[in-house]
């Protein structure tokens, strides 16, 4: 009986992950059609990535072309379902800030702070109604301080490394996240094709 349940659960999880991937691929197609240039007026600032004997700065805003956002979404699609791992920052497993750090480094060659609290202190604060793809969204899930971060996709959806579900999508309108949402920040400035 137990083996039947295990088999059933595995089948359900595979089906669930396939469904998430399919949804994200559909979103990619829609986003290509809806893509528009994003101008930003906030001044450049430095992000300090601190570690033992390491000091690197990525100037903000991180200036990218629209195709880099598509690349980000494609990478996210390939990572859906990867397990949560406390302290994880590789495809073997992610925690929430490790996931964000990995994506920004992999896609934009940007060095960001390691924890969600440190990430929340950089960039330009954005109101929820003005969120754009690639913005970071922050939550207080387990207390009075920011302890969770995700990357905004579109239409209230964001992607994050969840303790219970690994890399997955969430919805800002879901009552659980809505109640715990703290702030959003923008690190990216999308530049028009032909501009440097």
Catalytic residue status for 38: no
Give the span between the Cα atoms of 138 and 89, in whole angstroms.
18
What is the torsion angle, in degrees rounded to the nearest 10, for the CA atoms of residue 155, residue 177, residue 19 and residue 14? 160
Strand order through the sheet with 166-171: 124-126, 181-186, 136-139, 148-154, 157-162, 166-171
Burial level of 47, CB count in 10 A (0-12/13-18/19+)? buried
| Residue in 15, 22, 30, 148 annotated catalytic | 148
15 is catalytic: no
Question: Do the Cβ atoms of 68 and 192 come closer than 8 Å?
Answer: no
**Residue 65: active-site member:** no
Helices of type H across 35-81: 66-79
Q: Which residues are catalytic?
A: 96, 148, 160
């Amino acid at each position: 009986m137990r083996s039947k349940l295990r088999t059933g659960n595995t089948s359900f999880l595979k089906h669930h992950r396939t469904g998430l991937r399919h949804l994200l691929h559909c979103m990619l197609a829609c986003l290509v059609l809806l893509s528009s240039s994003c101008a930003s007026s906030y001044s450049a600032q430095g992000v300090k990535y601190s570690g033992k004997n390491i000091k690197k700065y990525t100037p903000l805003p991180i200036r990218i072309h629209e195709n880099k956002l598509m690349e980000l979404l494609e990478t996210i699609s390939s990572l859906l379902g990867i397990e949560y791992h406390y302290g994880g920052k590789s495809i073997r497993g992610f925690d929430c800030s490790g996931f964000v750090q990995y994506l920004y480094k992999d896609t934009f060659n940007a060095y960001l702070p390691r924890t969600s609290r440190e990430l929340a202190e950089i960039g330009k604060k954005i109101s929820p109604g003005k969120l754009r793809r690639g913005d970071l969204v922050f939550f207080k899930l387990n207390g009075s301080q920011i302890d969770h971060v995700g990357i905004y996709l579109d239409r209230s959806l964001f992607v994050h490394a969840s303790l219970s579900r690994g890399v997955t999508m969430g919805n800002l309108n879901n009552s659980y996240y809505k109640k715990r949402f703290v702030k959003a920040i923008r690190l990216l400035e999308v530049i028009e094709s032909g501009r440097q």
